[in-house]
Structure 1
Amino acid sequence: MSHTALINTPNPAWLHDPQAFAVNRLSARSTHRSTAPSQSLDGTWEVALTSGTRVSLGSPTDAFDQGDVHSIPVPSTLETQGLWPPAYVNIQMPWDGHEDPQAPAAPSDCRVAVYRRSFNLDEAVAQTLDARGSVRVRFDGFATALYIWVDGTFIGYCEDGYTASEFDITEALSGETETHDIVVVCYEYSSASWLEDQDSWRFHGLFRSVSLVALPATHVENLAARADYDAATGEGTFTVAAHIEGALENTTITAELSAPDGQVVWHHDGPASAQHLDLDAKLADVQPWSAESPSLYTLTLTLGDGDGGVERVTQRVGFRRFEIVDSVFTLNGQRLIFRGSNRHEFNARTGRTMSMEDMITDIKLCKQLNINAIRTSHYPNDTRFLDLCDEYGLYVIDEANLETHGSWCTPGDIPTPATAIPGSKMEWEGACVDRLESMVRQDYNHPSVLIWSLGNESFGGEVFRSMYHRSHELDPARPVHYEGVTWDREFDDASDIESRMYALPDAIEEYLRDNPTKPYLSCEYMHSMGNSVGGLQLYTALERYPAYGGGFIWDLVDQALYHEATAGSGGEFLAYGGDFEDRPCDWEFSCDGILFVDRTPKPQAQAVKALYAPVMFTPSAKEIRVNAVALPAALSDLRIRARVLADGEVAWEEMYEAVAAPGEESAVAVGWPSDLLADTQHEIVLEAALVLASDTPWCEAGHVVSVGQTIHSRPEVADTAPAGGVSFTVGRWNIGMREGDNEALLSRTAGGIVQWKRGETAMVARPPRLTTFRPLTDNDRGCGHGFDRACWTTAGAYARCVGTRVEEGPGSVVVTYEYKLAGLDEVIVPVRYELRVDGTIRLTATYPGATGLPTMPCFGVEWALPASIDHLRFYGLGPVEAYADRLDGATLGVWEASAAEGIAPYAVPQECGYHPGTRWCEVTDAEGHGLRIDACGELGVSLLPYSSAQIEQATHWWELPAPEERAATYLRLLTAQMGVGGDDSWGSPVHDEFHVDASGTQVLDVTLSLI
């Protein structure tokens, strides 16, 4: 459909025609800032809810007579305003199973929202109109298809709501009326829906701003500025291509480029009488732009007409050179590795509508977590976000609004190439190329944008060749990315990058070893759904290959929506797919962020921050080795903090000047205290951390960028005989231990300790039970872990005590319970309590190993303690939970948390709160009374308000009692637990090296004492 031929009558057939996507819409243009006036139409609009079969395009306001009328804010989504039901699907179309439209037809069951509002022109807008200028209406974001009227005049039709759509409404405003009306009919579905099958909540409505733009008759219509940087010489080459609409013979231009400090470094005066204007300049010693040092220059263009200024526009630019050299990504002459995350625009209360505060928060958190890049999955983002990426320093893969996964993928990831959209079906070419072109024209000037992406998970086809070629025509400098060609290698030439989705480390390494002709990029990897991101270190280890360009974790923020109270929830709760009775749905599959919905970091963020760190430390008794790939701030704003920890407590600390150069290894000589290095009574840990010495735009001084620890020495544990005045009583049914008001009781029939108290304060609710099970994680469920290891679900939980032995000796009584694991052939686990004369109890549980069994989720005991026991203090790996395949970022120290704080509020309750590498822990009540557990070696520990069985049975946290209303507190003491995985959440198991081998022996050995 032509963008220039005006059509005055709306046609409902456009909804089903892939070649009708921009009726009367103007070509996309750059988002430079202008002195030309604009007027916001944000605010309260009336909305009438109707359907595609009831709305009349001949008289759209009739919908307001049908009764279902509301007032809502714009921008907003209809779903988060409670007007349309939220729906979440991944691959499948939201109408699948309800009806079966054949592409390109849209479903007949289609909701429609008719928007309207009145407005008076601001004085400056009216003056521009009176001076023979023009006025446009601009829609920054919407879904899915719009018909627009102003003062009863049909204005146009548009799709692709993730780049701005502008329409000239000058003629419609030519009447005498001062008050004007705008009406927008928003369709839930159109043929564009086949191109917008992104894995996300399906939001609709005017979700970004709506405004009027008034432009003088002579104005800068489009601006393309390129600022190239030569790292060898420090020289910058600057080019400007401007489209001057309405240029006259007397039109002049003044161009200036200002450095970051405001100093003008380039000036040009000259005529601008032609529609196209090209300027260029060479500058010496420019400040290059990078994520670590985002130096921005400001271009100012002033148009004149001989009598004065007509328009002044500004555009920030950054001098940088991003290119592919010998299959290696380079920026400003240095290798660049993307340590990135995918990002949906999402807010749990406003859906797709993002505030400036939301965007700044996301960027600051990325910087704090050492994330250096964002992929705008899977549509161009609000242009304010790119402004912020330019300013704060984040690299961006800018992706076109295109995903057609559901058109070619059937259950089981079985492709059907013949049905792929767009494929080589050229009726889709115009719409797809237009989406790419609109993105490039709009976002061209942002230095943060390094790569254009043609879309996501849309197979291959000739249409992608067309998009690829158009991208390079518009912007020869930026590489083009498209992962879909991996499904159809005939179209491998439609991407400059070998990009794969959720490829395993071994497969990536195979590519990197085979003389790659393209750099490798994981456009999506490490699916961060629930308790995940185990094994990230296997991917970052591939950075040793020059052609490895890094990857983008899926994704940044959990996508769950706040939902009103239900009878069970008792209050507002976070809802995922299906909670709104949306069917079909894909349940919690959208809750896969590094951050929780409220933007607090998930536990896996600890590992992301560590493995993405630009500077790594290896402390030793001689020095601190420093390996830097980049500097997160100016060297003068960084310090190296050296510490010595003795048994987890800081015993010495000193700050040093930061010594690091990107791409190099260096060393810092440290004067570690000799007495601590010689200490044999404590575990001595050497620690080095990179710390911000000054505030930055993204974080305050004191922020720790990265930490490295080395265990220098561990004390030898002497096996000394305990001493004390404890008395023992061996009865027929029970065995007792008493010292003053300290009393313990073991039952011959209950299978363990049933009482341990000091005075009236009890420390035991139930005897410890063997556990070989953990609540399934999202990854466990996705790869069939529950099915494959079902034997371990019951083996410990239903183990039977088949024998009890009591042995009295000098200074102790040993009670051994022999447990037969449920469902397994003659696997006996002796659980041994040694009551000792000093009032302590040594508890051991020994799993002997057995052949022919799947690997174990874990081994140890789970112990129900009184609900009053609520506080965990431990010396081990913290501060948040860690797992065998996600140890990076966890540091040795003394940490503490309440039982409720041990819960990581993943969307679906699952395994959480685990701390491996624990030397000792204390679990206490509000008065400080409780138990101390000392490990013989190391153990894993968690203290939670719920049992593993309770967590496993719940699908929402609100289904469990409130922590303060719980019946008990649950302490787990484990010898080992398998990793959590994260290669994906639908089939890839935990890597072999992070499993617990069922054929090996596991020994839990701890000493218990009262506090």
Structure 2
Amino acid sequence: MTIEFPHSIHATQPSEQWLTDPSICAVNRLDAHSDHAIRGPQGESLRHSLDDSNGTWHASVVYHDSSLLERISQANIQASAREFLTELKEPISKVRVPGHLQTDGLFPHQYVNQQYPWDGHAQLDAPDIPEHNRVGVYARDFMLSPREIAALLNSRDGLGERVHLTFDGAAIALYVWVNGVFIGYAEDSFTPSEFDVTDVLREGVNTVVAACYEYSTAHWLEDQDYWRLHGLFRSVHLDVIPAVHVQHVHAASDYDWHTSRGLLSGTIYVNSSQTAHVHIELLDAREEVVYDEQYMLEQGSSTFELNATVQNAHPWSAEDPYLYALRFTVLDDTNTVIEKSHTRLGFRHFELDPQDHIMKLNGKRIVFKGVNRHEFGSDCGRALSEEQMLWDIKFLKQHNINAVRTSHYPNQTRWYELCDKYGIYLIDETNLETHGSWCDAFGTVTEHRAVPSSRMEWLNPCMDRANSMFMRDVNHASVLIWSLGNESYGGEVFVHMSNYFHEHDTRPVHYEGTTWNREFEHVTDIESRMYARPQDVEAYLIGSSELGQPRKPYISCEYMHAMGNSLGGMKLYTDLEKYDLYQGGFIWDYGDQALEQQLADGSTRLTYGGDWYDRPTDYEFSGNGIVFANRKPTAKAAEVKFLYANVKINIAEDLSVHIVNDNLFTSTQNHVFVARVLIDGVEQWTHNYRFNIPALSEQTVRVDWPDAQLFDGKEMVLELAYTLGEHTAWAHAGYEITFGQRAIALPERPVSEIHPSAHIVEDYWNIGLRTAQAEILLSRQHGGPVSFKRLNQTDDMVVRTPKLTTWRALTDNDRGYQAGFTRAQWLAAGRFAQMSGKDFAIDRKNGTITGTYTYTLATAAHTPVTVVWEVDSSARVHLTATFSGNHNEPSNPLAFGLEWMLPASYTHTRFYGLGPEESYADRHNGVKLGVWSTTIFDDVQPYLLPQETGNHEDTRFVELTNQFGHGLRVSAHAGSTFAFSALPYSSAMLDEATHQEELLAHTHTFLRLLAAQQGVGGDDSWGSPVHDEFQIDVTKPVILDVDIELI
């Protein structure tokens, strides 16, 4: 059951030397074991939880000194928790367990990505740690009544029961005492630390003390990109261990897809203080027994082998997560039940095929449509509740995400149970990252400083972490791949870790770090890279990279850096699924890491690094999620949902519908296809269909679309949506999984136009046109309208004359590739453009006026722009803005169009275009063409750092109105489309703010009308620009062509 290294030592007294000795990671800690559930004879829980958020735990913060551990060990063993802490002579606080010392206000907050938290404060020289080392000392009392002590401590009557105290998660180094007696020491924040406390418990009040250190050598191994949080952040509990106890279960539940047989094998480890026998049953989901067996046990430790075949087994997959229950009933010689325990299994065969180098599940090539996921909540840090985990699971399923990499540590046990139940594939990752030890701020590799590398003093803690994860999680069907850790370079330590997994299990081993040191690439079975650009991934797949012909399957263990307004160009990656060796990727990442902070006025904001005066810090680099930290979906999630869908729907030009079903095992027969016809964005017809398309096949199906001649309008949109046909555990019947659309222009029908009379006034400064309802003034001086309003309203649509814009509020990705430097001229280009010419035409016969304004942009090449405001006799405006293109400009603009300031009362938006979420040139697949209603406030995506937001591509019209329905309607002219945003903030305001709450109170509405805006990118956020095809080519003309009218 154990591996061949001294992962835990024995000691009766604590030592501060363990904090600085990397080879010592556990003292008196019990061996890791599987997380199977243990129950008493009647199925009752044998667990006594010590979790409490209501103040039964207290804590004080002290700085470590050479006497601290001795003082704790010599405290009065009769002292209560509060009395004990009083002796430390530091303030005492009530704290939550599970929780963090930071979120309870006792430790300072700090977020860093790659650098170690003490970089610049203390020398970085592994294994040294900072001298100033905070310690959170927890204490809690719990009562054991005479009845409870008798039940718990039968071992003193010779019956052999034991009591274990377990900390499921404690950061970052943990010392434990119970009733004044030193119990043990443990590192590895993310796997259980379990100790035998049987001999120190007593009737009445018992006191547990836990000292959580801020720093130890373990910190060198836990340099993940996250908030550095400490304390008891997972459950703490006492468990009664019966006299005969199933200690560990290693059950391999293989599946032979040729014969539909389930193959159950493995080893069961039992500790027994007496002779007994174990009854084993395997039950299906209907709780019908499909296998049972009896095993006799002798006194002492026993092992026995499982070996069973289940005919017609129901296989497990993310598409159909069918689970069996493996139950163990331990009985004594009189057939009295001593213990009941169980674990859940899924029959599935996962392999890396040695012939074609493809990973396969139950014989089928798998594609991971995944995300990296930190355990995180804005209100609780990493102390997630089951409710939060369940929200995450349902979100993943609803957005067609089938896989999670547990970046970069083992998650709570409950997470694996939920992934087994709901169907999520997992890369289970060892708690190991040392990025800051071997790579500096400029990406320079300092191999001689790398930890763990080939330094054998680090072997024990690394092997211990791998073993602890493996032993706990070995039986989970959802775990398909073991990962050695993250961004920790290469070295012999990883050879040992990889060999360990291969010796004990058949699942593939993953490790990306060897891409930095190809000498050790044999430790990983998978070619795994981070943030490789699509063309570089394709080069590997077709054999044109420096590695030659590919010998391993490829996954992008991190890709699409979703920082802020990002995730542009994702389709370039999902298109690579056409290559068999490309087996998907994991977006970075699932959720923003932002912590709630209460402000002086009582309001709450979401914070990033530096907001707590933490230094060093990496600021907003923690905001990379497709959901916000408060678990509200971002607009980016719609793109993920569409591109990750296993069913693809294409409506062809001849109106036939081609459906591809990429599910590995599931047909479409239990789903409903909903056909719709939209005329000018409004639904006019719908009909439901059922098509039975087998897994891994495609068909062209018939939909009886109605005749276009039946409808009046300019455009018909055909839509076919794929929806759930029945309720599931993660969504209700009717939930839309994906869709396909095709827009068709309808034949124009003659419309008789009435041209009302208009009064035109031509004067020195302005040219005015007035009708019975409206008035507009074109200024000779200001380059456009200075007034546009209804005659019966006081509000004017023009606060200031609309201005040219060639800029946008920089996104995180823009900043990352230094667009502020390389594109700086475009910030000034439109804002400070010089009007170089103007011309006015008046047609009194037809009642029209035209103002043509020529501008010279404030750029290196002085590119000209022409803006024409043509007003007809009904006060309807035809606006064109033409960017002529210029080969002499040094860079591409970020946008081109006009920014219009309107009164603050115009807050309601209705538009016909891609929505309802924002969209961009490289992120628009997951939005639909239709008519959508929103407000200028709801269209602001609250990215951690304010930036470009709210854009809508392929717009046919937008209406911006006040509460009475009056306002502007902007329509695409003559079959063109445009992009727009309508927000309470200008692009300059968004550019200047560093937090959402810094944005000024709403004083105006800002309407951006754009001919084009470049995409948002997402290959990474530190150097990769937006792909060329999603930029605005400065050498080519760009034209904004719209009609504007008052409504």
Q: Please indicate the TM-score interval, normalised by the length of the shorter structure.
A: over 0.9
What's the counterpart of residue 188 of structure 1? 214
User: 2-side partners of 1:719 and 1:819: how far apart?
Assistant: 36
What's the counterpart of residue 369 of structure 2? 339
Q: Does 1:572 align with 2:604?
A: yes
User: 2-side partners of 1:291 and 1:370: how far apart?
Assistant: 10
What secondary structure sits across from 1:491 in the alignment? Answer: helix
What's the counterpart of residue 662 of structure 1? 695
Pairing of 1:520-531 with structure 2 (within 5 A): 520-531=554-565
Choose the corresponding residue for 1:482, options 503, 511, 514.
Answer: 511
User: 2-side partners of 1:716 and 1:789: how far apart?
Assistant: 42
What's the counterpart of residue 507 of structure 1? 536
What secondary structure sits across from 2:933 in the alignment? Answer: strand
What's the counterpart of residue 788 of structure 1? 822
Q: Does 1:298 align with 2:325?
A: yes
Q: Does 1:997 align with 2:1033?
A: yes
Residues 311-359 of structure 1: CA deviation (Å, up to 9, x unaligned) = 1111110000111122212111111100000000001111110000010
What's the counterpart of residue 717 of structure 2? 685
* Stretch deviating more after TM superposition (500-509 or 3-12): 3-12
What secondary structure sits across from 1:792 in the alignment? Answer: helix
State the shift of 1:818 in Å.
1.7
Pairing of 1:211-290 with structure 2 (within 5 A): 211-246=237-272, 248=274, 250-273=275-298, 275-290=302-317
State the shift of 1:957 in Å.
1.3
Choose the corresponding residue for 1:153, options 181, 204, 217.
Answer: 181
Relative to structure 1, the CA distance from residue 852 to residue 463 in structure 2 (aligned partners, 3 Å threshold; closer, same or farther) is same
What secondary structure sits across from 2:638 in the alignment? Answer: helix
User: 2-side partners of 1:522 and 1:566: how far apart?
Assistant: 44
Pairing of 1:918-997 with structure 2 (within 5 A): 918-936=955-973, 937-962=976-1001, 966-997=1002-1033
Choose the corresponding residue for 1:388, options 418, 423, 434.
Answer: 418
Contact map agreement 1:659 1:666 (CA 8 A) in 2: no
Contact map agreement 2:861 2:886 (CA 8 A) in 1: no
State the shift of 1:722 in Å.
7.0
State the shift of 1:151 in Å.
1.2
Relative to structure 1, the CA distance from residue 719 to residue 410 in structure 2 (aligned partners, 3 Å threshold; closer, same or farther) is farther
State the shift of 1:182 in Å.
1.0
User: 2-side partners of 1:525 and 1:339: how far apart?
Assistant: 11
Relative to structure 1, the CA distance from residue 981 to residue 144 in structure 2 (aligned partners, 3 Å threshold; closer, same or farther) is same
What's the counterpart of residue 370 of structure 1? 400
Contact map agreement 1:576 1:590 (CA 8 A) in 2: yes
Choose the corresponding residue for 1:493, options 522, 529, 537.
Answer: 522
What's the counterpart of residue 553 of structure 1? 587
What secondary structure sits across from 1:781 in the alignment? Answer: helix
Q: Does 1:725 align with 2:761?
A: no
Relative to structure 1, the CA distance from residue 115 to residue 228 in structure 2 (aligned partners, 3 Å threshold; closer, same or farther) is same
Contact map agreement 1:125 1:214 (CA 8 A) in 2: no
Choose the corresponding residue for 2:47, options 38, 50, 60.
Answer: 38
What's the counterpart of residue 813 of structure 2? 779
Pairing of 1:448-459 with structure 2 (within 5 A): 448-459=478-489
What secondary structure sits across from 1:365 in the alignment? Answer: helix
Amino acid at match of 1:383: T
Amino acid at match of 1:648: G
State the shift of 1:679 in Å.
5.7
Choose the corresponding residue for 1:64, options 86, 98, 102.
Answer: 86
What secondary structure sits across from 1:607 in the alignment? Answer: helix
Q: Does 1:163 align with 2:199?
A: no
User: 2-side partners of 1:385 and 1:193: how far apart?
Assistant: 24
User: 1-side partners of 2:750 and 2:169: how far apart?
Assistant: 69
Choose the corresponding residue for 2:885, options 849, 871, 886.
Answer: 849
Choose the corresponding residue for 1:768, options 802, 806, 811.
Answer: 802
Contact map agreement 2:979 2:1010 (CA 8 A) in 1: yes
Contact map agreement 1:722 1:838 (CA 8 A) in 2: no
* Stretch deviating more after TM superposition (34-43 or 422-431): 34-43
Equivalent pairs, count: 1001
User: 2-side partners of 1:300 and 1:399: how far apart?
Assistant: 28
Contact map agreement 1:294 1:391 (CA 8 A) in 2: yes
* Stretch deviating more after TM superposition (8-17 or 704-713): 704-713
What's the counterpart of residue 345 of structure 2? 317
Choose the corresponding residue for 2:105, options 67, 82, 107.
Answer: 82
User: 1-side partners of 2:564 and 2:62: how far apart?
Assistant: 38
Note the residue ranges of structure 2 that are not aligned, 5 or more in a row. 41-45, 76-83, 544-548
Contact map agreement 1:615 1:631 (CA 8 A) in 2: no
What's the counterpart of residue 731 of structure 2? 699
Contact map agreement 2:59 2:85 (CA 8 A) in 1: no
What's the counterpart of residue 868 of structure 2? 832
Contact map agreement 1:257 1:264 (CA 8 A) in 2: yes
User: 1-side partners of 2:746 and 2:122: how far apart?
Assistant: 67
Contact map agreement 2:328 2:340 (CA 8 A) in 1: yes
Q: Does 1:198 align with 2:224?
A: yes
Amino acid at match of 2:449: T
Amino acid at match of 2:838: T
* Stretch deviating more after TM superposition (182-191 or 262-271): 262-271
Residues 949-977 of structure 1: CA deviation (Å, up to 9, x unaligned) = 11111111111123xxx221000110000
What's the counterpart of residue 567 of structure 2? 533
Choose the corresponding residue for 1:116, options 131, 135, 139.
Answer: 139
What's the counterpart of residue 909 of structure 1? 946
Q: So what's the TM-score if we normalise by structure 2?
A: 0.94
User: 1-side partners of 2:69 and 2:906: how far apart?
Assistant: 66
Choose the corresponding residue for 1:802, options 814, 831, 836.
Answer: 836
User: 1-side partners of 2:742 and 2:61: how far apart?
Assistant: 63
What's the counterpart of residue 405 of structure 1? 435
User: 2-side partners of 1:104 and 1:717: how far apart?
Assistant: 79
State the shift of 1:247 in Å.
5.9
Choose the corresponding residue for 2:467, options 437, 446, 454.
Answer: 437
Note the residue ranges of structure 1 that are not aligned, 5 or more in a row. none
State the shift of 1:633 in Å.
7.3
Amino acid at match of 2:916: P
State the shift of 1:700 in Å.
1.4
Amino acid at match of 1:315: T
Amino acid at match of 1:617: I
What secondary structure sits across from 2:800 in the alignment? Answer: coil
Amino acid at match of 2:819: H
Relative to structure 1, the CA distance from residue 850 to residue 121 in structure 2 (aligned partners, 3 Å threshold; closer, same or farther) is same
Q: CA RMSD in A?
A: 1.7
What's the counterpart of residue 359 of structure 1? 389
User: 1-side partners of 2:194 and 2:528: how far apart?
Assistant: 34
Residues 536-563 of structure 1: CA deviation (Å, up to 9, x unaligned) = 0000000000010100000101111111
What secondary structure sits across from 1:294 in the alignment? Answer: coil
Q: So what's the TM-score if we normalise by structure 1?
A: 0.97
State the shift of 1:838 in Å.
2.4
State the shift of 1:126 in Å.
4.0
* Stretch deviating more after TM superposition (631-640 or 984-993): 631-640
Amino acid at match of 2:23: Q
What's the counterpart of residue 129 of structure 1? 153
Amino acid at match of 2:520: F
Relative to structure 1, the CA distance from residue 178 to residue 967 in structure 2 (aligned partners, 3 Å threshold; closer, same or farther) is closer
Residues 173-197 of structure 1: CA deviation (Å, up to 9, x unaligned) = 2x5x432111111100000000000
Contact map agreement 1:440 1:474 (CA 8 A) in 2: no
User: 2-side partners of 1:6 and 1:329: how far apart?
Assistant: 43
What secondary structure sits across from 1:440 in the alignment? Answer: helix
Amino acid at match of 2:519: E
State the shift of 1:53 in Å.
2.5
State the shift of 1:660 in Å.
2.2
User: 2-side partners of 1:107 and 1:632: how far apart?
Assistant: 54
Q: Does 1:893 align with 2:930?
A: yes
User: 1-side partners of 2:343 and 2:721: how far apart?
Assistant: 38
Contact map agreement 1:722 1:836 (CA 8 A) in 2: no
Q: Does 1:97 align with 2:120?
A: yes
What's the counterpart of residue 65 of structure 2? 53
User: 1-side partners of 2:521 and 2:853: how far apart?
Assistant: 64
State the shift of 1:649 in Å.
1.1
User: 1-side partners of 2:260 and 2:702: how far apart?
Assistant: 33
What's the counterpart of residue 883 of structure 1? 920
What secondary structure sits across from 2:189 in the alignment? Answer: coil
Amino acid at match of 1:318: G
